[in-house]
Every structure is written in C-alpha cells, then in structure tokens.
Amino acid sequence: MSARSLLPARRPVPGVFVALALTLAIGWLVVLVDGGQLFNQSTTVSLLHVAAGLGFVAVGQTLVILGGSLDLSVAYVISLSTLVAAETMNGNDGAVVPAIGLALAVSAGIGLLNGLLVTKLRVNAFIATLGVGLLLKGYLDSGYDGPAGTTSPTLVQTLGYQRVGPVPLSFLLLVAVTGMAWFALSRTRFGHHLVAVGGDAEVARLSGVRNDRVLVTAHVLCSLCAGLAGIYLASRLGSGAPRVGTEGLYDLESIAAVVIGGTALAGGRGGVVGTVGGVLLLASIDAVFNQLDVDAFFKQVIRGAIIIAAVAVYARRALRKAAS
Amino acid sequence: MPDPPPAPLLTLRGIGKSFLGVRVLDGVDLDVAPGEVHAVVGENGAGKSTLMKIVSGAYVPDEGTVELAGEPRAFRGPGDAQRAGIGIIHQEFNLLPERTVAENVYLGHEPVRRGLVDRRAMLDRTGRLLASIGETALPADARVGRLGVAQQQVVEIAKALALDARLLIMDEPTAALADHEVELLYGLVRRLQERGIGLLYVSHRLTEVFDLSGRITVLKDGRRVTTVDTADTTADELVRHMVGRELSSYYPDRAGPGDVGPVRLTVRDAGNQKLRGIDLQLRAGEVLGVGGLQGSGRSALARALFGVSPFTTGDVTLDGRPVRLRSPRTAMRAGIAYVTEDRKGEGIVPRQSVLDNALLASRAIFAARSGRAARTERVRELLAAVEVRAAGDDQEIRFLSGGNQQKVVLARWLALDPRVLLFDEPTRGIDVGAKSAIHDLVRRLARDGAAVLMISSDLPELLGMSDRIVVMRDGRLAGELPAGATEEDVVALAVGNVPETAR
C-alpha cells in the first residue's frame, strides 16, 4: 500500500512570499535611512486597504486564469458595481442588503455574459471580455460625469473604515474570500475540473469534464469578486464612482498580481494564496514609494520592471523543469 | 494462451469507414476474448488507428457492428465508450502534468462526500488500484509531471481501470519507453490479463507482438489480411502479409553510374535527443531514400540536417568543409533546403500569394534591397519551370491543390540553388498525376547535381525513386539497402526482424 497522506503533493513555497519579505525588509531599511517609519499604524492600515481592493479582483481573476481564460472587463464591472450599490442605497441604511444584492447580481450577469461569449460563441477571452468592458465603458461614460449616489453611512463605517487593531475589516473579508476560493479549488469537483480545463482542455473533455459549464462558472465567480471590490470601494469613497475601476488600473494590476503570484497565464497551474502574495507585494511597493515621496511615473516604471522580472523568473523555472 | 478463446468480449463485424470518399477501412472483422492480448499489425496507413478510434468511440463507423460482451453498441463519443468499459492508452498521454496521480486518475469522477471532494478516499482508492496491478512504488500523491514516461503510462492504465475498463486498447505502448521499461510493461500486461481484461495491442514491433499476444490480426490498405494464432506463425510470414503489393506505377530512371558525383554531405557519428550514432554520406546526383516507421527518427534526421533541432554530437561536412548547422538559417546559407512533411503547417503560408510563398526563402536569406526585380523575375521563371497551375501569381496559395502547393514550395527552394535537398514525404496527400510530376522534378534536381535525401512512408515510392535506401529504427540507422531491394527487406529492417545472415 502506498504512503497515505492528506496533504496535497508537497509544493515549494511560492517565490512571491520570499520576494514580499525581501521587499518589506529592504523597504523598511530604505525608509528608515530616509528618516521615516514603514510599519507605523497609518501606513500599515493604508497598505492593507489597497491590498483589499485589488485582492478581491485578483482572487476572482485567478479563477478564470487558472481555467485558461482571462477577464479584462473587471475594471468596468467595479465602476458599475460602485454606482449600482451607491445609487440603490442613496444614503439609506435600510437599503444596504438589497443594494449589495443588486450590485452582485448585475456583476454575476456580466460574468455570465463573458462566460457564454467565451464558451458558446468561442470568442477569444481577450477579445470577448475587452468587448464587454467597452460596452460597459460606453454606458458609464454616457450616463455619468462624476460621482453619483450615496453609500449608506453604516456601510462606510463598517466595511469602509472599521478595523481590528491595524487590520481593516475589508482585509479580513479578503482573507475569508481567499479561503473560500482556496477551498473551492482544492476540495470541490468544480475546482479540480477548472484546473484540468486550464491545464489541457482536451484531456479534461475526454475525462468527462463539462468544460463549458466549468468556465462559465469561473467567469461568474470572477465578476462577483469584481462586484465585491466595487461595493468595498463605494464604502470607502462614500459614493458611486464611474471611473474608479479604470483609474485604479484594476484590470491589468489584477492580472499582474495573479502572474506574480505564480499562476501560469496559460492556466492549469497556480492558486489564490500566491495571488494574495502578489497583491501584498504590489501594495507594499506602493507603500514604500509613498513613504519616500517617489515620483508617480517612476513608480510605474519600477512596477513594470518587477512584473517582467517575476514572469522571467517563472519562465526560467519552467524551462529548467522541462529540461530535467 | 493458444486455448480456444471463451465468449468474446469485443466483436467487430464488417467495419467500414471512409474519409472524403477515400476508403480507409473495409469490412474488418475482429474478436477479443477476456484475458486475451490481440495484436493488430500493419504498415503506416493500413487503418490501425482508424479502427482503434472506432472501437474507442472517437469515430462512428460507416458500416458494420460493434458488440461488447454480446450487446450491440453504437458509441456517440469517447465518453460513451468509456462508460461501457473501453479504455484507450494513447501514444500521447492524456494526463495533466501539474496534478497528482490521484487527481489524474479520478479526473471527471472524483469521489465526493457531503458535496466535497474526498481526498482521502481518492488517494486510498488510487493506491489500491495501483497495488492491484503491482505498482506499489508509485505514490498516489506524486505530481504526474515528475514521473518518468513508464510511470505515466501506469497512471494512464490506472485511469482506465478506475472507470472499470474491461477492454484496454494500447496504441504503440512501447514507443516512448526505454528498453528496461518495456520489461515492466510486459509484467503489467500479464497482470491485466489475469484480471480478465481484454487487450487490443497495436504495435509496429514484432518482437513485442510475439512476446505478448495470443492472436495477431494483420491489416493492409484498410482490409483485414488474416488473423492467426501467434504460436502458429513466424515473423517472416507476418511481414509478407503486411506488404506484398505490386510495383505498378511509373518512376523516372535511376541515376546511371556516370551520374553519381563526389560526396556532398558527410555525417559522422552524429546524434541528438532523438538520434544516435548517425553515419551518412550523400553524393551529388543521387537520391538517398530513408525508410522506417513513424517515430523511428526519419524526420528527426531531416530536421537535424536543416538545423531545426540540430545534432548535439558528431560532425557534419559539406563539400569537404566542416559546417555547424545550428539553425534553419545557417543550413539555408550552407545550401541545404528542406521540404517539410507538414505542408499545411510548416510548408506554406496559406493566406499569402503564390509569389510571396515562392519568394519566402530568398527574401529571408538575401540582403533586402539589391536585385529585387531580378529575384522576382527568377522566381516567376522557376514557378513556370515546375509547372505550377494557378489562376495567377497573386492567388492565395491555400486555394491551390496539394500538388501545386508542393511545386510552389519546391520553387521557393530552387531559388536558393541548393546543393542538398531534404524531402520529407514529398508526395503525401497529393493526387497521382501531380505525384509523378514531383517524382520527375526530384530526379531532375539530382541529375543537375544536387544531393537528394528523400523520406517516404510510401514503400513503392521509396523503392522506385531511391538509388540507395537507409532504414531507420529507434533513432538509429538500422541498415542500408541497394537499389532493387524489396518491400520485405525494408519492413524487416524497420520492425527489427533482421535475418541472422544480415547481422
């Protein structure tokens, strides 16, 4: 009888956490030399807030990318979700539940559309989700010039600003969402099938997996996560914001976080834990640069370099694995 | 094993299948009993793969019946056949390298408890399944990508057994295995037999067929030639059944004694991942045929000479000078041309014009600006010389017939004045008329002083065209035959059934 173990096959610690630790250590030192303090209450809190917003989107993005797909419409889904939530609430505490429900339902609907375009009409995911994103952009641009609606004060006080020690409630929610996604990937048939579809769609199909259904589900979940990020941002900003998704670059940053977190862009390998590492890494770099008052453009250059370096490292590793 | 088989597990009667009007299977009968290993042999293109795909549900037969354990079945897809208890182990494994053994074995039907995947049960059952076929050393939680080829094959077999397969199809199971791993597979096959599982064993390698099978069915040109008890036959007899057709078509005259010139290309003890110990000489004016089965290294040889996947050891000299062919570009500059086997994928750019396709190589190799008009003029002449039939030079090449596409590819290389031409299945998928035009062209090129290497699975073509034939097996040159060799000689070398005298 072979050795029994409940642990999944031993996997190396995702390199992203090593990079995260290094970034924090170096950042701390540099900031210290500069005369600042990286780990004080306010920077930590703002770092975690940034991470929470991006984190929701990136966890959802991980699911579709694992399945070999992609979602470029998330930024617009976020903007739309802030508006749906804030306008439905209109400052009224009693309307919180229906508002959140409606925002999530609209997001899920968009995810369903994405999923159906990708699976049934066989439109390439890049094009399909970009197209859906542009549709939403048209609606947002024509309907809104600026912030609209008012988020209920209770939601602002709780999801938006409440903390447990230095940890915002929203970050705890991200941890919970990540936990659920991890659980879904490792302990449900859906998760197993999703990774199989991303790894090799033909193998999955020949093994009896219903590829289309799995991918549509992943797209719905991804959009739901983006919708959740929208609700969170609405509670931070106090109103609906038609440009918040695109200005925050949530589409590309979420994909970057997924890739830095070790998930293969082609699908079939990776997971949500690494993604959260990637999100924290990007947020930490932000925090360090803010402390150092680095020029915003230079910040982008450094982020670009880090993303390229991360992908290059993974590519090398994959090469070595193939060679051995 | 030679006992009369009990009630058959699988019964095929009168199976026929055509693709685009070409008959690939015609009235094939076959039985497999529980616990029997039934081997299916035949040349490339004899219809083995098609037959296996019909049994495994990937194709629907045009005629005939498939019965499983006495019940007539009409499979609508591979899933249907799987549920009925037919498993197939392909040459290319259907596994996810990033997932564990257990996850692969139970993909699509993971054991579930209270709505969640029951990892413990999955690992346990996989472990038991592996133990039942004697594979106790293989951990169920190992990542498949870390396993060797032989172990991956075991995972494939376990995957089929997890679906309660009663009949297993093995398609060239040893093709990817090292010698010592083949022994392990033998053991595995015998344990599967003991469990009463019927096996359809497709293989080119007669040694294995004789070691393992109880009965052998020979296919040729889509028909069943015969089914024999393994104990009652010999390798020579099988080879005769596998070939034996008349050389009817016309081929251009071979090179005369005066036509063959000096040695153009010499390969000494060269090898790479797929090739070992290649020693070869190509002379100006001659056509060297390369025979062998699919996967024996024929294409790998051409691709090594053209620098696609270069030799990593050994030396190559061209016209007496040592050359290093490390990329197609260097090979082209050295005067080597390669007409690939995969015309659609590697030979043509389907949506570009005839002229653009013909100019592809010259544009890539020669400095951009100089003599552009002259170059185009020359390619136009070449297109006329090889008699391409197209509506015009600007017609998209995808609308041309296979034969005309191939002529354009030829014109492309002729524009470089190559000294060595490598042809890989030059007439595959080309109609008869265009075939002999290509044959004439190949011969004319040789007569004009080029050294030609021609790979072909079409035995009459190989024998009819070549001045000399080398046969490959397992990445090595298995032997050389003079012009006038017979099909039996080539097949015997290719499958490794060498008479003692030749050794």
What tens-digit pLDDT sequence spans chain B (503 residues)? 445 556 789 999 999 998 766 778 999 999 999 999 999 988 766 788 889 989 988 889 999 999 998 889 888 888 888 888 999 888 778 899 999 999 999 998 899 998 899 999 999 999 999 998 888 888 999 999 888 888 898 999 999 889 888 999 998 888 777 777 888 889 889 999 998 999 999 987 788 899 999 999 998 888 898 899 998 988 888 888 877 554 445 688 887 777 888 999 999 999 998 899 999 999 999 999 999 888 889 999 999 999 999 999 999 999 989 999 999 999 998 999 999 888 888 888 888 899 889 888 888 877 665 677 888 888 888 888 888 888 788 888 888 877 888 889 989 998 888 999 999 988 877 766 677 788 888 998 898 889 999 999 888 889 889 999 999 998 999 999 998 888 888 888 888 875 544 43
From B147, which residue of chain A is nearest by alpha-carbon distance?
A324
Predicted confidence band of residue A1 (pLDDT cuts 50, 70, 90)? very low
List chain B residues with CB under 8 Å of A200.
94, 96
Q: How many CB pairs under 8 A join A and B?
A: 86
pLDDT at B365: 78
CB-CB under 8 Å, A5 with B108: no
* Rounded Cα distance, A235 and A150, in Å: 9
Identify residue B164 by its one-letter amino acid code. D
From B100, which residue of chain A is nearest by alpha-carbon distance?
A9
Q: Which residues of A72-102 are buried (b: 16+ CB within 10 A; e: fewer)?
A: bbbbbbbbbbbbbbbbbbeeeeebbeebbeb
pLDDT at B368: 60
Res. A141: pLDDT tops 90: yes
Task: Point out which residues pair with B113 in neighbouring strands.
Answer: B116
Of residues A3, A6, A193, nearest to B120 (C-beta):
A6
* Rounded Cα distance, B467 and B353, in Å: 36
CB-CB under 8 Å, B94 with A203: yes
Tokens 């055509």 correspond to what residue? Answer: B18
- What predicted TM-score, i.e. pTM, was given to this entire model? 0.74
List chain B residues with CB under 8 Å of A192.
103, 107, 110, 117
CB-CB under 8 Å, A191 with B117: yes
pLDDT at B21: 67
User: What domains can be seen in chain B, in order of their start residue?
Assistant: 1-85+166-174+192-242 (3.40.50.300), 91-164 (no CATH), 263-335+418-502 (3.40.50.300), 354-416 (no CATH)
Using a CB cutoff of 8 Å and minimum separation of 24, what contacts does B262-267 make? Answer: B264/B318, B264/B319, B264/B419, B264/B420, B264/B451, B265/B305, B265/B316, B265/B317, B265/B318, B265/B420, B265/B451, B266/B315, B266/B316, B266/B317, B267/B305, B267/B311, B267/B314, B267/B315, B267/B316
Is B102 an interface residue toward A (CB < 8 Å)? no
User: What domains can be seen in chain A, in order of their start residue?
Assistant: 41-323 (1.10.3470)
pLDDT, one tens digit per residue, over B382-433 is 888 888 888 788 888 888 877 888 889 989 998 888 999 999 988 877 766 6
Q: How close B131 comes to chain A (CA, Å)?
A: 6
Pairing of strands B420-424, B451-455: parallel
Rounded to the nearest 10 degrees, what angle do helices A125-143 and A96-119 cross at?
140
* Rounded Cα distance, B471 and B296, in Å: 9
CB-CB under 8 Å, B79 with A193: no
* Rounded Cα distance, A212 and A108, in Å: 16
Half-sphere exposure of B344 (CA within 13 A, CB side): 8
* Rounded Cα distance, B14 and B37, in Å: 21
List chain A residues with CB under 8 Å of B140.
2
CB-CB under 8 Å, B115 with A192: no
pLDDT at A9: 38
Rounded to the nearest 10 degrees, what angle do helices A41-66 and A211-237 cross at?
160
pLDDT at B104: 94
Mean pLDDT across chain A: 89
* Rounded Cα distance, B421 and B415, in Å: 12
CB-CB under 8 Å, B145 with A202: no
Of residues B110, B139, B145, nearest to A189 (C-beta):
B110
Q: What percent of chain A has pLDDT over 90?
A: 63
Of residues B94, B95, B117, nearest to A187 (C-beta):
B117
pLDDT at A87: 94
pLDDT at B146: 87
CA distances (Å), A123 to each of A120, A216, A222, B147, in order? Answer: 8, 13, 18, 36
pLDDT at B4: 52
Three-state secondary-structure class, residue A201: helix
pLDDT at B216: 94
Instruction: Tell me the average pLDDT across A144-156.
Output: 91
* Rounded Cα distance, B448 and B456, in Å: 22
From B138, which residue of chain A is nearest by alpha-carbon distance?
A2
List chain A residues with CB under 8 Å of B97.
199
Pairing of strands B468-473, B287-292: parallel
Residues of A within an 8 Å Cβ radius of B: 1-9, 186-189, 191-193, 195-196, 199-200, 202-204, 206-209, 268-269, 321
DSSP B144: G
Of residues A1, A200, A208, nearest to B96 (C-beta):
A200
Closest by alpha carbon to B204, among B236, B174, B237, B240?
B174
Give the mutation candidate from A1, A187, A193, A206 for the B interface (greatest B CB count, under 10 A).
A206
pLDDT, one tens digit per residue, over A243-291 is 999 998 999 999 999 998 989 888 999 999 999 999 999 999 888 888 8
Rounded to the nearest 10 degrees, what angle do helices A296-323 and A15-33 cross at?
150
Sign of the CA dihedral A84, A88, A90, A93?
negative
Rounded to the nearest 10 degrees, what angle do helices B119-132 and B149-162 cross at?
110
Mean pLDDT lowest among A132-146, A306-320, B19-33, B195-209? A306-320
Is B365 an interface residue toward A (CB < 8 Å)? no
Identify residue A67 by its one-letter amino acid code. G
